[in-house]
Chains A and B, each alone.
Chain A
Amino acid sequence: MADLKGKGFDPLKMTDAEIMLRFREGEAAAFRVLYDRFVRRVFSMAYRFSRNYETARDITQEVFLRLYQKKDLYNPEISFNTFFYRLTYNCILNYIRDHRDTLSENEPTPVSFSSSVTPEQTAFANELLKNIEKRLDELPEKQKTAFILNKIEGLSYEETAQVMDTNINTVKSLIHRATISIMEIKDE
């Protein structure tokens, strides 16, 4: 990182969009910075759709591979979140479409909690989480995507709408319906 700072490239002080611009201009180190910032978020999003570790890892690699290859398509007038999550969303959709048959056969990875939690607490938390995640999985694809992008990934309504190629009112409606469904399971 010290070398990068020496070149006038200090990622800690830069926004995602600024780093993406540096990468587009040919600064190879900027790609690593973006990767480190987003790899776990992309992986968790891919996992929520695939429920399989290997698949989520494959999708994550594909997302960054495309980011590497399509860097010239980045337009700084559009928010980086919109650009990046649209890329991620498209990769996930493509993967799901191409592997629809095998995805349903995937075994979910078992959950593990810290050792300080009692078995009863673990069982209760496990059950609660499974219910929430199950309800999320049961949502229609668009509701699920809108909910994940807005509530979990923290994108604004406008960014979510742009990623999903729809309008803000539709996104609000999708998120509202998804939230009601998920909250209902918690009331049970």
Chain B
Amino acid sequence: MNNHIDNLLFDYNKKESALNDKEISLHIQDCGRCRKLLEDYFNTIDVMRNSPEIPQLSDSECSRMFENIISRAEVRRRKATILPRVIAVAASVIIILTAVFLYKNHNNTLNTGREIESHIIGIFSPDKTDDLEIISDLELFSNLDIIENLETLEELNEVIDDEI
């Protein structure tokens, strides 16, 4: 590249502004090369700004595009409003299903506990039905407030011992 005013010239986007620059106007008076560069540079920019290489949009095409933009924006807006609602409903359903599942699972756990209890009793007693009745009786007796004296308790124990 040369040592003329290229750097200074390329700072301008309009010819008039460049010519108002004292340094440029003084320089091109004596420098044919920079005078030509100035003309070429602004012609090139002008040609590029109005280049027929770039197709033009017709008014009808612009209107069609605008309608398309508005309808697409409306579709996206609807999606944007509907989506959070769908997510909220889905989340509620998941929470309810989870709660139901946990509740059922909890009952199953309780039932399993009872089954284990019965199984342990079964190990010690061949007749499970009788054992279970005795256990029930014991529970009942232990909860009775009428057991107030030791004699009654001992009698009860004897009955139990006999039965066992």
Contact = CB atoms under 8 A, between A and B. Distances in A.
Do A and B interact?
A: yes
Interface of A: 32, 35-36, 39-40, 43-44, 47-48, 53, 56-57, 60-61, 64-65, 68-69, 108-109, 111-113, 128-130, 132-133, 136, 150-152, 154, 172, 175-176, 179-180, 182-183, 186-187
Interface string B44-63: 11011101111111000110
B48 A152 contact: yes
A69 B80 CA distance: 11
A130 B51 CA distance: 10
Contact of B10 (A40, A69, A176): A176
Q: B interface, by DSSP: helix, strand, loop or mixed?
A: helix
A47 B56 CA distance: 10
Q: How large is the interface on B (under 10, 10 to 19, 20 to 34, 35 or more residues)?
A: 20 to 34
A186 B69 contact: no
A44 B55 CA distance: 8
A111 B56 CA distance: 11
Contacts of B99: none
Interface in B1-45: 1, 6-7, 10-11, 13, 37, 40-41, 44-45
A11 to B, nearest CB: 15
18 contacts: A39-B66, A40-B56, A40-B62, A44-B54, A57-B61, A64-B65, A65-B69, A68-B69, A129-B51, A132-B44, A132-B47, A133-B53, A136-B48, A175-B10, A179-B10, A183-B40, A183-B41, A187-B40
